[in-house]
Structures are given as C-alpha cells and as structure tokens.
Amino acid sequence: MSQSTIQNQHSISTERAFDVELRKVFKVFNGEAAVRGVDLSILQGEFFSILGPSGCGKTTTLRLIAGFDPPSAGEIMIRGQLMTQVPPYRRPVNTVFQSYALFNHLTVSENIAFGLRLKKRGRAEIEDRVKEALKLVKMEAFANRFPAQLSGGQQQRVALARALVNRPAVLLLDEPLGALDLKLRKEMQVELSNLHRELGLTFVMVTHDQEEALSLSDRIAVMNQGKVEQIDTPNRIYEQPLTSFVADFIGDTNLFSGKVEGTHPEMLWVTTERGLKMKVKPPESGNTLSGLIVVCVRPEKIQVSLSQPADYVNWFAGRLLNIMYLGTHVHCLVELDSGDRLTVMQPNATDQLPDAHTPIYVSWAFNDCLAIPV
C-alpha cells in the first residue's frame, strides 16, 4: 500500500471505534498469495465496501474476517479483540451469501430461527426475535412460505433477516445482490441502504459492481492482485484516484501516457506519447510529479463542439467514429487527429445528433483532468 493510500486510510475520524481491523494480513493458497499485506480499519456503523475484479482477493478477505479461512500472517481484530483462535460461530459477525444458502425444507420463519435454535435460545425469545427480523425486512406476510415459493428479492430479504436475527456486531455481505436482475438489484440497493441507516450496524460488502459500491458505501477499498490500491470515500475514489488501475476500474475514463514538461503549484504541463500538449491538475497529495505520468479524463468532463472552442486550455481536433443513444445520455467515440481515441458522455439535450465521421473538437478544463504517477 502506498504512503498516500495509508494517509487516506488513517485520515478518517477516530471519534468512533473500529469494529474491524486487518493488520498486514496475508493469505497463501498452494504457494500463491491471494491476499498480500492488507491493512483495513473499518469504523463502527460504517458501510464499507471491498471492490475489485474477479480474482483480486476481495472474497478471500471477507472469508478471513468471517473466520472461514485462517490468515497465513497478520492480525484480524473485531471490536478490539484478536480473532486468531476464535472460530467462525463464535465471532460477532454474520454473513449473507450471494446464493442466499436458505434451507428449502424449512419455512421462512424456520430459516430465520435456525441460528437461534442452535444457540439454545428460549422459545419465546426466538418467536419475538423472528417477528422483529421479519418486520425489519418487510416479510411478515411470508413467514409460513418456503424458499421455492419466493422471488429472488424475497429470498434475499430472508437471508438478510436470518443474519440480522443474531444481532451481529458486523454484517458481512458477499456479492449480496449479484444474483438479482438489474431492476430488482436497484430496488434492493435502496432497501439495503435504508436498512443500514435504520440499524446502525457495520456493513462490510464485497462486490465487483462499481456503481453499487459508489452508491451504497461510506468508504471503499479498491483491491488489485491481492493488494489494496486505495481506501477512500466514493467521491474521492472517483474524482481523485491514486493509481491508473483505480482510475480505469472505477467508472469509464480516458487515460493518456505522457511526460511532465513543466510544473506549477496548481498546474502541470504534459506532453503525451502522441504529442498532445495538455495542462493538467496535479494530485491533491501534494507529491511533486516529474517524468512519466498518466493523465485521467472522465468522459462526462469532455465537451464536444463543431467549432474551435475559445474558452478551454485543452482542446483538440478530431472526428466522430461512433454515436450510441442511451436515452438520458449520448455516448460518443472520437478519434483525434493524433490518432488517440476518446469516449465522451454527453447529456441528451437535443434531438439532433451529428453524423458519424463529422469533424469536431473536444475540450476540457485543466482541473477536469488529473495527473497520476506511473
């Protein structure tokens, strides 16, 4: 983890206690490290997401917190207690899996009560807590149904209720909405956010869905090849990525490799590999950049015009290669005279779209593009 990443990790408020802490955690399978030196500090009551592509180590990290896998090295703390010798069933956490893992031969109420019965709770207490959990997820009317009689969204609610009924300190969510269709996933995102706000529990979610992580999380850890590349708020992850991987993985972006030709406290002069000369915003970390860098420009920051713009320092001539109408937005693929290709996202503010191969200009403000060290 870079020094700037560590600073972002520990610049958060310390008024609340940490519910989960990972300290230099490694996990090795058959000689290959799936998790490599991960440091995480998750605040009590926080909605924290671990985001990354398949195989990056995010699910392994969640399993380490749950206790399903032991770490090869490092420490895992929950509520200030070392978890090294604590088995999964004794940890103050519960996990909601993508597959839901409901018992098909049990009713909704019986599924929710299962964990309480294992703990030998009294009948009256079980009934009261099951009713409370059903009410939380708005499933009271389905108490006597079996999982096969429920929709995917309803099964997801039952899985949440079964985890919440045990009153865990931390709720672990492993791709919780991955099995749902797009419309239902959007609805469940809202419900999950509302549930988190009402309960005040710590949620730790693993997902590969960038939009899901950005919309739900207080903070996000972006993982790549077993390491954490950045930990920050959704806004800063998107607007101030620390590495080219984070910039490229989170949302759409245009990346240019280039060289710093001149510096100023508020601006860098950069020449790209294909000879484009840009004025670029330096990173907020305050680190002095020199030599090779990557310039990040988000598609929605780019303006398209048929005439040469007069009020932008970064403007370049090119032509439209392709236009995709997306309803609220128009997605354009532009080839610059330099040979670089850009994606541009423009609001759908007109019925008249230019034809493909139309000569155009693209432009953006210097503070709408960011320099990232290589």
pLDDT in the model for residue 152: 83
**Could you report the per-residue pLDDT of 228-257, keeping only the tens digit for each?**
999 999 999 999 999 999 999 998 999 999
Spatial distance between the Cα atoms of 52 and 209, rounded to a whole number of angstroms: 8
- Domain coordinates of the chain in residue numbers? 3-244, 252-373
Q: Strand, coil or helix: what is 113?
A: helix
pLDDT in the model for residue 64: 97
pLDDT in the model for residue 330: 86
Q: For residue 35, report the phi and psi dihedrals to the nearest 5 degrees.
A: -130, 130
pTM of the model: 0.87
Sign (positive or negative) of CA dihedral 263, 10, 62, 103: negative
pLDDT in the model for residue 286: 56
pLDDT in the model for residue 11: 44
Q: CB-hemisphere CA count at 13 Å for 297?
A: 26
Q: CB-hemisphere CA count at 13 Å for 361?
A: 14
Which two structure tokens, joined as six digits, stand for 73? 């090295």
The dotted CATH code for 252-373 is 2.40.50.100
Query: Can you list the residues of the chain whose pLDDT is less than 50?
Result: 1-7, 10-11, 13-14
pLDDT in the model for residue 190: 87
**Could you report the per-residue pLDDT of 193-208, keeping only the tens digit for each?**
988 998 889 999 999 9
Considering the four listed CATH numbers 1.10.8.60, 3.40.50.300, 3.40.50.170, 1.10.10.10, the one that applies to the domain covering 3-244 is 3.40.50.300
Spatial distance between the Cα atoms of 330 and 310, rounded to a whole number of angstroms: 24
pLDDT in the model for residue 182: 80
Residues 6+ away with beta carbon under 8 Å from 246: 222, 229, 230, 237
**Could you report the per-residue pLDDT of 301-322, keeping only the tens digit for each?**
999 888 888 877 899 999 999 8
Q: Helices marked H in the chain — which ranges?
A: 3-10, 58-66, 108-118, 123-136, 152-164, 182-199, 210-216, 234-239, 244-249
According to DSSP, residue 130 is labeled: H
According to DSSP, residue 303 is labeled: E
**Could you report the per-residue pLDDT of 67-88, keeping only the tens digit for each?**
999 999 999 999 999 998 899 9
